[in-house]
Structure 1
Amino acid sequence: MITVALTGSIGMGKSTTASLFAAEGIPVFDADAAVADMYAPGGEAVTPLSMAFPDIVADGCVNRDKLSAHLKRQPDDFARLEAIVHPLVAARRAAFLEQARADGAWCVLFDIPLLFETGMEAHVDVVVVVSAPADIQRTRVLARDGMHAEKLDMILSRQTPDAHKRDRADFVIDTSKGVDDARHQVRAILDALRKRRQNPGP
């Protein structure tokens, strides 16, 4: 089974691209969705985070606006947050991979926003980076509800620069030309991976 990691900076079209892989029958593990579920009432991250950061939990769940405000005031707490959340995500990812193997999947995709930042690229076979010109990226992100330039800059400061990601990728998907064009790129990548699987190198 080929393991593929999909990553890209905010606003590059990563979630849409992941859905294109899913539409081609590839099982997708969405790290952001896993975190959102763990932050919800009853989620496994709520109790440990309430102990570490009491001000960010309300009504039995992690309030992401309060979490963002807390990290803006105390950016050093990113490391404490990651030390709690990353192992929980890893456990979910392992369970997903086990199920995919049991189902006989030939390929799986991990949608991991902080792939290079967490060193996860060393644990997959193929890295796909989603990219777009910086002006398109900013326009997309600033159009989101609750987003502003200062918040975007803070997020980007925590992410590996786009150029560095592209340099370290096995494949790059340019999302600047729309969904149909991205779909063609996804299919071309999957065709290449099928051929690689059929004709493995030495």
Structure 2
Amino acid sequence: MSFLLGLTGSIGMGKSTTAKLFAEMGCAVWDADAAVHRLYAPGGAAVAPMQAAFPDAIVDGAVSRDALRGVIQADPSALKEIEQIVHPLVGQDREQFKAETDADILVFDVPLMFETGGNAAMDAVACVSVSADIQQERVLARGTMSLEQFEQIRAKQMPNDEKCERSDFVIVTDTLDHARQQVQAVVEQIRAGLNDA
């Protein structure tokens, strides 16, 4: 039986980098955002149902995230319908990953783990964390969003302190070496428990 570890954290906290560190330690990583990209790509499972519900969101045979944002801005209630189409497909993708993967630790990289109640299906949850100043600096350094957009996203996410309190492990991502040491400690602790079981 594999150990199911949820990996969460707010925008700019270093979750993608931390997921790679878990992969380096021999864990299998499932990424919720990557799953959505697969579903939205040409031939992806979400394309046909999205085309039926929101034909304007399809560009070149794929679901366009930009076009979807336009749909949601025009009609905020569309978000619920989009989620009803996409969430079950993401769930199927996750189950397929679990069925096809034989690693001892499966890491589920889900930004809104607590917000969506996904933590209930995990054996433990690790939250990545860093100071609010570093978080803001990292996000703005990407050059993909304004301070206002960043603050809107952060306002929709559960406060970092609360995520950390609800998690079994907190990984501080102030430096890569520090994060790597903590990931190694988490993996060793989980593997020790698996060996004792």
Tell me the CA shift for residue 168 of structure 1. Answer: 0.4
Distance 2:39 2:177 in 1: 33
Q: 1:157 to 1:54 in 2, by over 3 A?
A: farther
Instruction: Measure how far apart 1:88 and its partner are.
Output: 0.5
Partner of 2:195: 198
Q: Match for residue 166 of structure 2?
A: 168
Bigger Cα displacement from structure 2, 56-65 vs 179-188: 56-65
Residue 195 of structure 1 deviates from its aligned partner by: 1.9
Per mean C-alpha deviation after superposition, the further-off stretch among 185-194 and 45-54 is: 45-54
**One-letter amino acid of the structure 1 residue matched with residue 71 of structure 2:** H
Equivalent-residue separation in structure 2 for 1:146 and 1:71 (angstroms): 20
Q: CA RMSD in A?
A: 1.5
One-letter identity of the residue aligned with 2:172: D
Q: In structure 1, what is the equivalent of residue 95 of structure 2? A: 94
For 2:42, the equivalent position in structure 1 comes to 41
Q: Distance in 2 between matches of 1:189 and 1:29?
A: 18
- In the other structure, the counterpart of 2:177 is 180
User: Do the aligned partners of residues 30 and 143 (structure 1) sit closer, same or farther apart at CA in structure 2, a change above 3 Å counting?
Assistant: same
Q: 1:114 to 1:12 in 2, by over 3 A?
A: same
- Given residue 51 of structure 2, which amino acid in structure 1 is its aligned partner? S
Secondary structure at 1:16's aligned position in 2? helix
Work out whether 1:155 is the aligned partner of 2:153: yes
Secondary structure (helix, strand or coil) at the match of 2:77 reads helix
Q: Which residue of 1 aligns with 2:81?
A: 80
**Partner in structure 2 of residue 189 of structure 1:** 186
In the superposition, the TM-score normalised over structure 1's length comes to 0.91
CA distance in 2: counterparts of 1:74 and 1:12, whole angstroms: 31
Q: Residues 13 and 72 of structure 1: is their aligned pair in 2 closer, same or farther, counting only changes over 3 Å?
A: farther
> 1:76 Cα shift?
3.1
Q: Over residues 16-63 of structure 1, what are the superposed CA-to-partner deviations in whole Å (9 max), with x where a residue is unaligned?
A: 100000011101111111111111111111121222222222111111
**Segments ≥4 residues shifted beyond 6 Å:** none
Identity %: 48
Partners of 2:143 and 2:45 lie apart in 1 by 28
Is 1:3 the counterpart of 2:4 in the alignment?
yes
Q: CA deviation at 1:150?
A: 2.8
What residue ranges of structure 2 are gaps of 5+ in the alignment?
A: none
Aligned positions, number? 196
Answer yes or no: is 1:111 the counterpart of 2:109. Answer: yes
Q: Report the residue type matching 1:192 in the other structure.
A: Q
1:122 aligns with 2:120: yes
